[in-house]
Amino acid sequence: MNSSRLYIIEGLPCSGKSTTAKFTAEFLSSYNNKVIYIDEGTGKHPADYEFNSFIPDKMLCEFSVGEQKTIIECSQRRSDGYIAELSALKGILFEKVLKYKIYDFLDWETEYPLMLEKWQEFVDNSDNGIFVFNCCLLQNPMCETMMRFGFDIQTSKEYILKICNIIKSMKPSVIYLASSDIEKNILQAVPERGQRWLDDVIDYHINGAYGRTMKLSGFEGYISCLEERQKRELQILNSLPLRSLIIQDAHKDWNNSYNRIREFITDNRL
């Protein structure tokens, strides 16, 4: 029987997810010494492919014999291809393998079975720990299904439900940080994150399938994407078979937010 537990912090960019995830992990540590905190963008995520490419067997012939050897050495074998760690590659080979990056270039029919398999692998190897994830149950699936591919909310929900079915033995809980002034939150983060970050996220959102379909442009288009994403995420969250806590504008009163999180976690332990 799997006695592991999973807490996932969700919300839009600049909503306070990292701060909340760290607090949650620290509070849980006061009850249990084995708490594993996984921030987004850390590289080797146990339930996600953050910086990986998938090279199908049929495409391996595009690489030289030496390149094939390097790819195989830094990859996980899958039934019909290889999951390559991009951080282990350099130079021309890196550029060639980057074209197969899972989150940016892989087609959905190939991507989603890989992602579900990764979640199952995580559950199977969770080793009875307490895990705290900074996003990946809602944010990453929504960025793919909604933003990149332009799917409707039902398709997104069905995919997220499949993930929930995989992780249900870990009794997952979600803490969602809702934002009432998304534009203000983003602008306040620019001095720290930089203009390059803002340009990149604007480009990603307005040039994805959703942004193009809605004919969005510029900063206003980016904010419009986030507003619709939050609306859909909250609707989906309320329908998921898991415990959840929604905190509105957590940053306006961190003491109150932390108290609500403490109560939420304590209630879950009773």
Q: What is the DSSP string of the chain?
A: ----EEEEEEESTTSSHHHHHHHHHHHHHTT-S-EEEE-TT-S--TT--SSEEEEEGGGGGGS-HHHHHHHHHTEEEETTEEEEEGGG--HHHHHHHHTTBHHHHS-HHHHHHHHHHHHHHHHHT-TT-EEEEES-SSHHHHIIIIIIT---HHHHHHHHHHHHHHHGGG--EEEEEE-S-HHHHHHHHHHHH-HHHHHHHHHHHHTSHHHHHTT--HHHHHHHHHHHHHHHHHHHHTTSSSEEEEEESGGG-HHHHHHHHHHHHHHHH-
pLDDT at site 205: 97
Q: Determine the Cα–Cα distance for residues 218 and 199; give it in Å rounded to an integer.
A: 9
What number of CA atoms fall less than 13 Å from residue 239's CA on the CB side?
Answer: 15
Task: Match 């009773």 to its residue by tokens.
Answer: 270
pLDDT in single tens digits along all 270 residues of the chain: 567 899 999 999 999 999 999 999 999 998 877 899 999 877 679 999 989 999 999 999 999 999 999 999 999 998 799 999 999 999 999 999 999 999 999 999 999 999 999 999 999 999 888 999 999 999 999 999 999 999 999 999 999 999 999 999 999 999 999 999 999 999 999 999 999 999 999 999 999 999 999 999 999 999 999 999 999 999 999 999 999 999 999 999 999 999 999 999 998 765
Contact 209, 148 (CB under 8 A): yes
Here the tokens at position 73 are 């050495």
What's the gap between Cα 222 and its chain centre? 18
Rounded Cα–Cα distance for residues 206 and 213 (Å): 9
Report the Cα–Cα distance between both ends of the chain, in Å, rounded: 19
